[in-house]
Amino acid sequence: MSRLFREKGGQGDSTRATNGSSLPSASEDLPSPFGELGCSLSTAELRETAYEIFVAVSRTTGGKPLTYISQADRSPAGGTPEKSLSPSLSTVSPSSASPSLQRTLTATAASKMKKALGLKSKKSPGKESSPSKPPKKPLTVGELVRVQLGVSEQMDARIRRGLLRVSAGQLGRRVESMVLPLELLQQFKASDFPDQEEYTSWQARNLKVLDMGLLLHPHVKLSRSDTASQRLRQIINGAYERPLETGKNSESMQVLRSAVMALAGRSSDGSISDKCHWADGIPLNLYLYQILLEACFDREEGSIIEEVDEVLDLIKKTWSILGIDQVLHNLCFTWALFHHFVITGQVDTDLLFAADNQLAEVAKDVKTNKDPIYSKILSSTLSSIMNWAEQRLLAYHDTFHAGNMDSMYSIVSLGVAAAKILVEDISHEYRRKRKEEVDVARSRVDAYIRSSLRTAFAQRMEQADSNRRSMKNHASPSQPLLCILAKDIGDLASKEKDLFTPILKKWHPLAAGVAVATLHACYANELRQFISGVAELTPDSVQVLKAADKLEKDLVQIAVEDSVESEDGGKAIIREMPPFEAESAIANLTRTWIKTRVDRLREWIDRNAQKEEWKPGANKENIAPSVVEVLRLLDENLDAFFQLPIPMHPALLPDLLSGLDKSLHHYISKARSGCGTRNSFMPALPALTRCTIDAKLWKKKEKPQNPQRRSQVGTMNGNDSLSLARLCVRMNTLHHIRTELENLERKVITCLRNVESAQADVLNGLEIKFELCLAGCQEGIQHLCEVTAYKTAFRDLSHVLWDGLYVGEPTASRIEPVLKELNQTLELISSTVHDKLRNRVVTALMKATFDAFLLVLLAGGPSRAFSSQDSQVFEHDFRSLKDLYLADGDGLPEELVEKAAMQVRAMLPLFRADTENLIDRFRRTMAESYGPVSKSKFPLPPTSGHWSPTEPNTILRVLCYRNDEVASRYLKKTYGLPKKL
């Protein structure tokens, strides 16, 4: 026990209790959870205050007042013998001392507290003896507390002397009804101290305690209008500048006592009591109590002393002054046990075990104590414990090894217990959920496992990379990084299962499964990155895939063994481990190869299709040269695919065909793009006017035709990008693609039959189709046919059809020029377009010219005027137009021509009808469309774009081009149509 007499941290200890630091030996990385004191009191000053309280309350019976006992006290330096307090407050002979304070250490029985904490009692230090040293006089419990707290004998003597003076002046008064700093300030003068500086420091300390206990951290919250607090603040501030006069009759002392007692006498419920509240405000009381609890621990080793029961019995007597109850004690003692384990090098696992058991008492308290202030302190304390534990558990491979697994068990238990209280009893979120939905212990341990394994994996990854780099200097070739890593991770998984899983399984039934699932995910991520950087199968990639396959089998085996007794048989864990078998990896590599080839093909198409001129005569098929190259590239890609050393050609062939199909469809889109649509070549309809009856109209000179004809011939021969000839080349190109696709499909089937992995049943269910391209060619050819037809009819032939046909006198501007130009167009089509496309193109041209013929009659503009007799000219000319396409049986089928001519034939009778009949028909159709209208005023019918003999706008247009007075008057009267645009 000689070490108990070594005094430590006396008056000279200047460690400050600011910013929340707790005890003299508190480590910087573990601050107090009780909050900040917010003052400049040193730890030594706090210790002295705590010891004063301890000595003041340590008397025979806590309920009895301070009394005189005729007993000679030791004379301190500079003092005189005085009558003593209760024997418990003086150092007297054991025969007259308090049984609790002066009980000798040799009489200590087996500790009930240690038994409650799950610890074994050791041999009492009082029984130790050394042959070389005579046994010391047995220590008392009170003396043990003094030594444990590092209080010097001189300080102890002064405190006892001051308390004797207090008791002499206030006989019969309870210690709870006094404010000790106030009473002590009045009992001491500068002469009681070795020098003025020490006295000044002592006085300042007591004033700071009053400041903290009554102003900064009062038991009852202060109001802004409290005059006593303002007076006390002024006194304390003044005393810092000029020492306070503390004589009994001093005016400053009377003012101080008045202010202090007014503040200390307040109670939270407003009741009148003689109890003073000066050290029971939070967190001041917790700091003082934590210092007192330091007496329960050996000052050198940090372990719990054997006399902990007697020491705690005395310390608990301070509860009445400090406002501590059993609930707060349990929490503070838990923190003290944990804190001492941390600051003493984390070697005494008994402290950790004891803290865990003490935390179980805290867990019981929380169920019944819902005080918000207590909950706040509890939350802060448990968070500090949990955070410290999780700093080690989130990377437990770095913290624990075979030699300290007992420590790991206690740290996990403590961290999980703290987390459970925080979540289940403090968290509001948890209360909104059903309890069975949240397994706090399992979720926390799950997080520890996953975090630690990820960290360990990263370390093994770095180590494997270092080993691989070092092997480069040797003659023998080095293994790929992922091969080395696979072996290391396998060893790590085995270590996890043998060393850590037996501990963690108490809280998580699938601990090993979670660990290997985490390792599996980490390695899978690296494997994916490796594969993404490999464009083709190489010896290294095959080696990596084999190592990965073996690792995966080992990890899955551990997971299966670990989950045999689980409810779901380990299905959830296995679902976390999507396989990365070699075959799947090879398939991914092949898909990467496919994507690269397809991307290159698409880039080539973008680059070369843009340059394509679509000129005829580049080859005998009149197709674009670029399509020949595109189809060659497709063929090469197919050959290269079937030469790959992979076992799953049928499975991956759809990926290749889909990519090639999309690329070729992209080329098809290029072939039909930039040509416009049929509507882009339709002329805008002129506004409706009445027919102009003017003799000059019939004498209008014909426009010279040669310039337009030359322009039209140039267009036909291909001098512009949308010439007839170039449009024909585009159509031929699409037709060629459609034909070659059939050849490609046959080639694919032949290649598949030569592949060993292609079974007959696989071939039967495999569709070898270029669906996008087939549909694209069909739609593209149809689109180009329409564009070619309408461009020819409405732009290339506009000089003879739109600008010439029936302009002026219809009989003088008939259809022969149109037929002549059309004949040349048909000859060009016949010589350029592929035989299988010819009829489609001519059919589209026929429909376009029929539409143009009808548009001339119904929307030809004010330069055209017709009489009913002109209908014979129209009918004759339309027959000539049809005969052109029939070509005496060598052209289009008659049924096809007649079907296309149906609309025009239905419209021609309107031009034979007399004007009155047309007007009557128009009125009827308008009445049917709009109903009866007053004064026979009808709205102007809109143009629908679909000509019909029963459609009002169509009939109205026939009237507009009728060159007689009746039609003109009706149009003027009904709609006010002008004669000119």
Helix crossing, 511-532 with 539-562: angle to 10°?
160
Residue 452's pLDDT is what?
96
Tokens 């000219």 found at: 873
Residue 23's pLDDT is what?
32
Q: Which of 202-206, 219-223, 382-386, 877-881 has the lowest mean pLDDT?
A: 219-223
Neighbouring C-beta atoms of residue 768, cutoff 10 Å: 15
Collapse the DSSP code of 626 into the 3-class scheme (helix H, G, I; strand E, B; otherwise coil) and give the result.
helix
Q: What is the pLDDT of residues 357-371, one digit of tens each?
A: 999 999 999 988 888
Confidence of residue 184 (pLDDT cuts 50, 70, 90): very high
How far apart CA 416 and CA 444 sit, in angstroms, is 7
Q: Which residues contact 24 (CB under 8 A, 6 or more apart)?
A: 9, 13, 15, 43, 44, 47, 150, 294
Residue 435's pLDDT is what?
52
CA-CA distances (angstroms) from residue 855 to 550, 708, 859, 908? 78, 21, 5, 12
CB 443 within 8 A of CB 505: no
Collapse the DSSP code of 962 into the 3-class scheme (helix H, G, I; strand E, B; otherwise coil) and give the result.
strand
Mean pLDDT, range 185-205, rounded to an integer: 91
Confidence of residue 759 (pLDDT cuts 50, 70, 90): low
| C-alpha count within 13 angstroms, C-beta hemisphere, residue 332 | 30
Q: What is the pLDDT of residues 425-468, one digit of tens each?
A: 776 655 555 555 678 999 999 999 999 999 999 999 998 888 77
Stated as kind and residue range, the H or E segment containing 322 is: helix 319-322
CA-CA distances (angstroms) from residue 557 to 567, 568, 592? 18, 16, 31
DSSP string, 115-158: HHTT------GGG--BTTBPPPPPPBHHHHHHHHTT--HHHHHH
Residue 698's pLDDT is what?
40
Q: Which of 313-327, 546-560, 663-677, 706-720 has the lowest mean pLDDT?
A: 706-720
972 pLDDT higher than 80? yes
Q: What is the pLDDT of residues 403-418, one digit of tens each?
A: 888 889 999 999 999 9
Mean pLDDT, range 661-679, rounded to an integer: 91
More confident residue, 935 or 966: 966
Mean pLDDT, range 509-514, rounded to an integer: 94
Q: What is the pLDDT of residues 766-812, one digit of tens each?
A: 778 899 999 999 999 999 999 999 999 999 999 998 889 999 899 88
Q: Which of 175-189, 438-452, 577-591, 828-842 has the lowest mean pLDDT?
A: 577-591
State the pTM of this model. Answer: 0.59
More confident residue, 104 or 624: 624
CB 831 within 8 A of CB 926: no
Q: What is the pLDDT of residues 260-293, one digit of tens each?
A: 999 998 887 777 678 899 999 999 999 999 999 9
Residue 760's pLDDT is what?
54
Tokens 């404010």 found at: 179
CB 734 within 8 A of CB 784: yes
CB 57 within 8 A of CB 89: no
Mean pLDDT, range 548-562, rounded to an integer: 91
Task: Name all contacts of 157-161 with Cβ < 8 Å and 24+ positions apart.
Answer: 157/74, 157/76, 158/76, 158/188, 158/192, 159/48, 159/51, 159/52, 159/55, 160/55, 160/73, 160/84, 160/85, 160/89, 160/90, 160/91, 161/73, 161/76, 161/79, 161/82, 161/192
More confident residue, 838 or 582: 838
740 pLDDT higher than 80? yes
More confident residue, 525 or 69: 525
How far apart CA 296 and CA 305 sit, in angstroms, is 6
Q: Which of 137-151, 840-854, 914-928 has the lowest mean pLDDT?
A: 137-151
Confidence of residue 392 (pLDDT cuts 50, 70, 90): very high
Residue 85's pLDDT is what?
32
Q: Which of 59-68, 274-283, 602-611, 835-844 has the lowest mean pLDDT?
A: 59-68
Collapse the DSSP code of 808 into the 3-class scheme (helix H, G, I; strand E, B; otherwise coil) and give the result.
strand
Mean pLDDT, range 831-860, rounded to an integer: 94
Tokens 């190489």 found at: 538
Residue 115's pLDDT is what?
83
More confident residue, 133 or 366: 366
Mean pLDDT, range 293-299, rounded to an integer: 90
700 pLDDT higher than 60? no
93 pLDDT higher than 50? no
Q: Which of 422-426, 587-591, 718-722 has the lowest mean pLDDT?
A: 718-722
Residue 764's pLDDT is what?
64
Mean pLDDT, range 948-969, rounded to an integer: 92
Residue 545's pLDDT is what?
84
Q: Report the share of the chain in percent with pLDDT over 90.
A: 50
| H runs (alpha helix) in 563-699 | 571-575, 582-609, 625-642, 649-672, 695-698
